[in-house]
Structure 1
Amino acid sequence: MADQTDEARAVPGVVVQADDLLTRDGTAAFLGADSRVTLLEADRIADADILVVLTATVSGKTLSTMSRASQATEGRIRIVLVADHISEQQLALAVNHGLVSFLVRPFTSFSRILSAAVEAHRGRAALPPILMNMLLDRMRTMQKDECPTGLLPVELSQRELDVLQLLAEGMDTVEIANKLSYSERLIKSVIQAVIKRLDLRNRTHAVAYAIRMGIL
């Protein structure tokens, strides 16, 4: 299935999965009452744009849920994870499965989960700085240990490299557009093109991949 752009569907379809029924039903009820998303049943995961996963502890089961969702949507789905904590290794795996946003459960709310889902559909990641740094450090270590530098399957333009560099610095599309004096629409188009050409999951995965390959 071809990668969808942010404009492909104005209102994203969202599936909610949680460890317990109370958390799942409460979150689903809140999201379902908002016109910015369309709530889908769990058995419609293949039609979903966003998966919201709520858990106290990230486990192998949690990662398997993400992996199955990614496979069901051929890598298209974007995942919002709400949990107490995530390890470095789990974070790297989760990003590979489609994770774009991580919310710390004791400090989040239904409204923040809704906002993260809407922003994820727009292509905006929301990883706390400490997790982003942890992910980037891990990717740099993997690059040094396992990969020769500069061997990308496709050649990236200087503009694409500039955008990836600013993403790695934590900027969103508006900030990057202002920094490079381009339109936000163009920046989104550049990001989507890189993701599609390199067969990646999302912008966080693109930054991590670029670092692993030694170009950032």
Structure 2
Amino acid sequence: MRVCARVCPASREQVDRLLRHRDVVVTADLESDVDVLLVAGTTVEEAFALRPAGWPGARVVVLADTFSREGVREAVRAGATTLLRFATTSPGHLAAGLLTAREGGGQMPHDVLVRLLGGSGAAGRAPRLTRRHLSVLWLLAEGFDNAAVARSLTCSVHTVKNVVRELLVLLNARNRAHAVAEAVRLGLV
């Protein structure tokens, strides 16, 4: 499968790591034989803005950290069918998402779909979180302890503890469980 990748500079290293899959050939040029366009950025708006003018929108995969309701609606209206979150995407998951898009299917995170369909969205103003904050939050929500989070993110346990402390302050939370609950309430995870 041939993929044209348009990636914001802040996401380049992470996307390069995710695109290491034997069935994916990556090109920077839009050629006639490209199967799927991958756009990646911190937010869905930033990622989708990288889509070249004139690209029909079909067969577009959006990879981002943050999905606002408006940004998702704009991407979906323009034909994007597959939206993936950095924190929960592995190389195999990305390859499957690219294949799904190539075949005309689509996928997106459950919470993004709920917000898109008008379900309960964020009830307050969400603090601005870094990619590291969001990754740790997602793993905490999955029940990972500090050591497992550190292994998953290839960092030290000390770094994870510092990020958790920052999250407690940013989310005005009493403990890890409360931080995850606040993140869910605000639509961050």
Using the TM superposition, give the Cα deviation of residue 51 of structure 1 relative to its aligned residue in structure 2, in angstroms: 1.4
Deviation at 1:130, TM superposition (A): 2.4
Following superposition, the deviation at residue 63 of structure 1 comes to 2.5
| Map 1:40-119 → 2, pairs under 5 A | 40-59=26-45, 61-66=46-51, 68=52, 71-72=54-55, 75=56, 77-119=58-100
Q: Quick check: 1:57–1:84 contact (8 Å CA) kept in 2?
A: yes
Shift of 1:18: 2.0
- Give the corresponding residue for 2:116: 135
Calculate the aligned-residue CA RMSD, in Å: 2.4
Find the aligned partners of 2:60 and 2:108 in 1 and give their Cα distance.
12
Determine what percentage of the aligned residue pairs are the same residue: 25
1: distance between equivalents of 2:99 and 2:7?
19
CA contact (8 A) 2:36 2:102 kept: yes
The one-letter code of the counterpart of 1:94 is A
Structure 2 distance, partners of 1:128, 1:26, is 21
Pick from 3, 17, 23 the counterpart of residue 6 of structure 2: 17
Q: Spell out, residue by residue over 1:37-71, the C-alpha distance to the aligned partner (whole angstroms, 9 max, x if none).
A: 4x242222554221122222334x433222x26x1
TM-score, structure 2 as length reference:
0.53
In 2: Cα distance, 1:55 partner to 1:62 partner:
4
The structure whose RCO (Cα within 8 Å, separation 6+) is larger is 1
Q: Secondary structure at the match of 1:44?
A: coil
Give the conservation status (yes or no) of the 8 Å contact 1:14–1:40: yes
**Other structure's SS at 1:125 match:** coil
Answer 1 or 2: which has greater helix percent.
1
Which consecutive aligned stretches of 4+ in structure 1 deviate over 3 angstroms post-superposition?
none
CA contact (8 A) 1:50 1:80 kept: yes
Shift of 1:113: 0.3
- Residue type of the partner of 2:5? V
Question: How many residues are treated as equivalent by the alignment?
Answer: 117
The two structures have a TM-score, normalised by structure 1, of 0.47
1:129 shift after superposition? 2.6
Aligned to 2:18: 27
